Amino acid sequence: MHTVMVRGVQVPSLGFGTFQLEGDDCERGVSTALEVGYRHIDTAQMYGNEDRVGAALAASGVDRGDIFLTTKLDNDAHAPDDVRSTTEDSLRKLQTEYVDLLLIHWPVGGVPFETTLDAMLELRDEGKVRHVGVSNFITEQIERAVAHAPIFANQVEYHPFLGQEEMRKLAERHDFLLTAYSPLARGEVFDDATLRDVATAHDADPAQVVLAWLVHQERVAAIPKATSPEHIESNFAALDIELSDEEAERISGLARGQRLIDPPFAPWDDENAR
């Protein structure tokens, strides 16, 4: 397993994302991922699938200590009492005594995120959370967050068409993990001529070279979602691909500011930043 070192912790650099996976599809997907060799699983309260993720983890036979498990607070769970109650509910659903990483999913609502982080740190001190972090934070917010708490990660949309160079440099400077969600740009990577060309050179597909490009960057992990066993296995095989510097630069050069996840409450809208 390829890992990335963050704050002295080895995190598997390729994880399995469960966004939009529901019911049996979610449980089967997580089970297959664990069988293939994934040891980094990502879910969220908002996804409504923590119980299915927990069932798959419990049935897998994989030692809990070998799995890096992330979940995220719902947008209406930022007040201290809600942080505690919803996280404890997540633990019950996930059938675990702790999560490795608890994130603020989106910096929204009327509660200052510093207050939310303080409540998360209380859970960390109690052993219910190993590390705390954020998701979808812009640069100004991450600078505030790292000044307030030991931020372990910022999870953001990151793929060849949406560069995150400034955030990646902040991750290196402050020693936090930059986790790439939607790393395959919702399938758009398959239609790009440059990515197809690089993939052909490696007898691979565009998804594999994109994942290889991501996980070989400093402080970066990727959490692609997949449903079929074939795609789950294919994504995992990306760990065997070594790109040249020239190939990596070609992929980086595809950035065009194309954001695919853009809800009305997103912080990059100046009216929502807090």
Instruction: Provide the mean pLDDT of the chain.
Output: 96
**Secondary structure (DSSP) of 172-192:** HHHT-EEEEESTTGGGGGGG-
State the Cα–Cα distance between residues 217 and 177, nearest whole angstrom. 11
Query: What pLDDT was estimated at residue 113?
Result: 97
Q: Are 232 and 24 in contact (CB under 8 A)?
A: no
Q: Distance between the two ends of the chain, CA-based, in angstroms?
A: 38
| β-sheet bridge partners, residue 6 | 9
The pLDDT assigned to 27 comes to 98
- The token duo for 49 is 């699938």
Q: Name the superfamily (CATH) of residues 3-252.
A: NADP-dependent oxidoreductase domain (3.20.20.100)
Q: Which of 47, 98, 158, 181 is catalytic?
A: 47
Residue 109 has a pLDDT of 77
Question: What is the mean pLDDT of the segment spanning 244-259?
Answer: 97
pTM across the whole model = 0.96
State the Cα–Cα distance between residues 129 and 160, nearest whole angstrom. Answer: 32
Note the pLDDT of residue 224. 98
* Beta carbons within 10 angstroms of residue 249's beta carbon: 11
Is residue 274 scored above 70 in pLDDT? no
Are 192 and 254 within 8 A, CB to CB? yes
Beta bridge partners of 178: 154, 220
Say whether pLDDT at 250 is over 70: yes
Domain ranges across the chain: 3-252
pLDDT for position 32: 98
Q: Is 158 a catalytic residue?
A: no
Percent of the chain with pLDDT over 90: 97
